[in-house]
């Protein structure tokens, strides 16, 4: 989840509700755009800047 102020929050969602796992400031300024997950990369942006975060496991999957 991303707040209007640019704070990014990782939450665990269940049928009973959700609990926050982590939170940090990802962008500065008003942020109305939805975050996008492409593979292991989380992309967030606002009207002036963009950030990309690798949210994948530190271990590579076996193929």
Q: Which of 54, 57, 62, 4 is nearest to 34 (CA)?
A: 4
> Can you give the residue range of the structural domain that contains 39?
7-54
Task: Report yes or no on 39 lying in a domain.
Answer: yes
Distance CA 52, CA 63 (A): 25
pLDDT per residue as tens digits for the range 7-48: 999 899 999 999 999 999 999 989 999 999 999 999 999 999
Per-residue model confidence (pLDDT) at position 55: 86
Task: Report yes or no on 29 lying in a domain.
Answer: yes
Task: Report yes or no on 1 lying in a domain.
Answer: no
Q: Residue 63 above 70 pLDDT?
A: no
Task: Report yes or no on 12 lying in a domain.
Answer: yes
Task: Report yes or no on 46 lying in a domain.
Answer: yes
Task: Report yes or no on 31 lying in a domain.
Answer: yes
Q: Residue 62 above 50 pLDDT?
A: no
Contact partners, residue 24, CB within 8 Å, separation at least 6? 7, 8
Indicate the pTM of the whole model.
0.75
12 against 62, higher pLDDT: 12
Please tell me the total number of residues recorded for the chain in this structure. 63
Per-residue model confidence (pLDDT) at position 60: 52
């Amino acid at each position: 989840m991303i707040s209007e102020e640019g704070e990014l929050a990782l939450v665990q969602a269940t049928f009973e509700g959700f609990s926050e796992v982590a939170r940090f400031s990802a962008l500065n300024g008003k942020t109305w755009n939805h975050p996008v997950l492409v593979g292991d990369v989380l992309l967030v942006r606002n009207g002036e800047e963009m950030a990309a975060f690798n949210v994948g496991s530190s271990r590579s999957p076996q193929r």
